[in-house]
A and B are shown apart, each in its own frame.
Chain A
């Protein structure tokens, strides 16, 4: 599908972790959105969604982050990001402006057009299939915010089913948190380790050669644990596979 002037204008919310750790996820997102017929732009003034401040009880700074994002994405038909967690944060913005009706209105408007990537493709753009090949078996971890705040569950699976050569093997407890939790993983590292150890055990028990998810936080955590354990399970963002861009080294893998 080719984008025209009538095509929806989408602002890509890159997210900090994709920006720093995994730019290929950003490019995969652009490819998927363009293939779905969207005009994609990347506002250069975007930074962080503010979730670390929000979840640390710092409402003042959270409001500053929120205002920055709202302004950066002003005028776009949609805001789409390859993360349930960061997009989930955008949906929290209205509650930051209880006593400021103008900003609350703008925050609600932003939340109403902010979507996680796979749910945007399936639920909004009606994408039913992708043009991609992946020879291997994968298992899918449901990131908590995407799953429970935004209802992302079937969308990535529906698209993965249309990837040629791919087989999806579900793991036990795919809906249980991997133990990342933003600052939780460094504030309570031992508990976090127990949780991510359980996750890596469930993922490797499927025998799948690749573990996928839709959030870089979970992915860095799980990839880091699997690497430390010496596992050969590879870890990727689901967008890389859906965009047929899974030929690069997996997360935490050496180059070539």
Chain B
């Protein structure tokens, strides 16, 4: 997938001017945070659970090689296979190889952000294999030839009319020639079409919310049941996950699962929580004949031992973006790659390079709302600041901005100079403010005054007035 993060400002400009998107974002802001808050209010031990989630992820990351090997061994014991992919290209080739070995023409897919990260659908398509998304939101955006704008609600930016248009345009080939209007009708039609795809697919590809080391199981949580049909009906199941999804035990997975749904949608628990352990055994009534797990690194292992290690705790709940006022203003596509919002602003510079994704960690007010809701207590603002440090060290910020900062540091490290500059600035702004008491235009500050006035200073600096008053007091 193309990285448009360097055009972040233009992307944001377009997003702000898109009334349909703005309506969708208002719904998101009115929905997710309230639902999360209500779910947490019903669980008194939620804060303790966050600590437990953080601690168990930290412990796992400190011994990641150990748990990954244990996971691989237990997958193998249950008749499955683990494939290690250093980068996106390796992962794509591994998956294509499995599909070809299975003689696959079509694959069904459960929701997987890793699949977006490695641009799997496009790759399979280029190699003659049709991938069909079965999560309703993913299906909608696949029809629209788009990418997710949110990690758990991929089509949050699409409205009902647009869904109706997409179905009308793309379903005619199945003999569906009526333009549908209501959500139940659209849902019914999607189910009907997807049902045939589930039955026809040769390979099913899902993501994994957790990989459990002690059992060799992968776990997916879904609300639609599409993941189950994706992994049970085809002959081959491929679970695609990144390295840090491994957890030591079943109990650990359940700690995170209790955090996940509440943080994400405000549910106590997703509708389906499905465990896959190996392929179909002789006594099983159903299941795939072959079970593969593709574990993707793609730069994650290089985060270990750095100031970005804590980011690997992320369980992809989306609470950070649901509560982010910047995401709420511009939506997910503006961020320009797979992962939007605060978690994306930390992860994207790692995965595509800070030279390309430099805007993302800067486009934050550091309001801290993301960190305050993160179920595994990732210090997201601090990590975005670390990216800014890397950019500063590499001189990636605009030079005028750097000079401005240095000039301020020069002034402020000399109290006598600071007082002179403050005095001059105060008087100047006071004069420019005139009778109105505020400035509606100010050279070099058009970013401010294009959108709002600048209140003028009261008159003198506090330090001056204090010195005068202290003189009187003494």
Listed in ascending order, the chain A residues whose CB lies under 8 Å from chain B are 14, 16, 18-24, 26-27, 42, 44-48, 50, 52-59, 61, 64-65, 68, 72, 144-145, 148-149, 175-177, 179-196, 198, 220-221, 223-225, 227-228, 248-249, 251-255
Contact = CB atoms under 8 A, between A and B. Distances in A.
Interface string B418-446: 11001001100100000111101000010
A149 B371 CA distance: 11
Contacts of B465: 23, 26-27
B409 A58 contact: yes
A41 B363 CA distance: 38
A22 B13 CA distance: 33
A254 B378 CA distance: 45
The 3 closest A-B pairs by CB, nearest first: A181-B365, A252-B455, A57-B388
Interface centre among B388, B452, B460 (most CB of A within 10 A): B452
A220 B367 CA distance: 17
B389 interface: yes
A47 B438 contact: no
A249 B454 CA distance: 15
Contact of A252 (B447, B448, B453): B453
Interface centre among B385, B387, B401, B459 (most CB of A within 10 A): B385
Contacts of A191: 12, 16, 326, 329-330, 363
A61 B402 CA distance: 12
Interface of A is mostly: helix
B451 interface: yes
Nearest to B17: A190
Given A223-B455, A249-B437, A252-B456, A188 B461 contact: no
Contacts of B459: 23
A206 B365 CA distance: 25
B390 A192 contact: no
Given A26-B462, A54-B385, A184 B364 contact: yes
Interface string B329-372: 11000000000000000000000000000000011111111011
B196 to A, nearest CB: 44
Nearest to A41: B470
A72 B447 CA distance: 34
Interface of B: 9, 12-13, 16, 325-326, 329-330, 362-369, 371-372, 385-393, 397, 401, 405-406, 408-409, 411-413, 415, 418-419, 422, 425-426, 429, 435-438, 440, 445, 447-448, 450-463, 465-467, 470
10 contacts: A26-B462, A42-B466, A55-B385, A57-B388, A57-B391, A184-B363, A191-B16, A191-B329, A193-B451, A220-B455
B413 A148 contact: no
A245 B117 CA distance: 57
Nearest to B391: A57
A50 B438 contact: no
B405 A58 contact: yes
B413 A18 contact: no
A14 B463 CA distance: 8
Given A14-B462, A176-B325, A47 B418 contact: yes
Given A53-B408, A53-B409, A23 B462 contact: yes
A208 B405 CA distance: 38
Contact of A56 (B330, B388, B429, B463): B388
A223 B436 CA distance: 13
A22 B430 CA distance: 11
Contacts, number: 211
Contacts of A196: 451-452
Contacts of B440: 228
Nearest to A64: B413
Interface centre among B12, B365, B391, B440 (most CB of A within 10 A): B365
B390 A57 contact: yes
B452 A221 contact: yes
Nearest to A189: B447
A148 B368 contact: yes
B452 A225 contact: yes
Contact of A65 (B412, B437, B466): B412
Given A57-B389, A58-B409, A186-B447, A224 B367 contact: no
Contacts of A253: 437
B179 to A, nearest CB: 34
Given A23-B460, A24-B458, A187-B401, 15 more contacts: A21-B456, A23-B466, A27-B462, A42-B466, A47-B415, A48-B418, A53-B408, A56-B388, A57-B388, A58-B409, A181-B365, A181-B367, A220-B455, A223-B453, A255-B437
A20 B461 contact: yes
Contacts of A177: 325, 365, 367, 369
Contact of B463 (A44, A55, A149, A181): A44
A19 B422 contact: yes
B453 A22 contact: no
A65 B455 contact: no
Nearest to A191: B329
A22 B408 contact: no
A202 to B, nearest CB: 12
Contacts of B372: 148
Interface centre among B366, B435, B438 (most CB of A within 10 A): B366
Contact of A26 (B12, B388, B448, B466): B466
B331 to A, nearest CB: 11
B415 A44 contact: yes
A2 B154 CA distance: 62
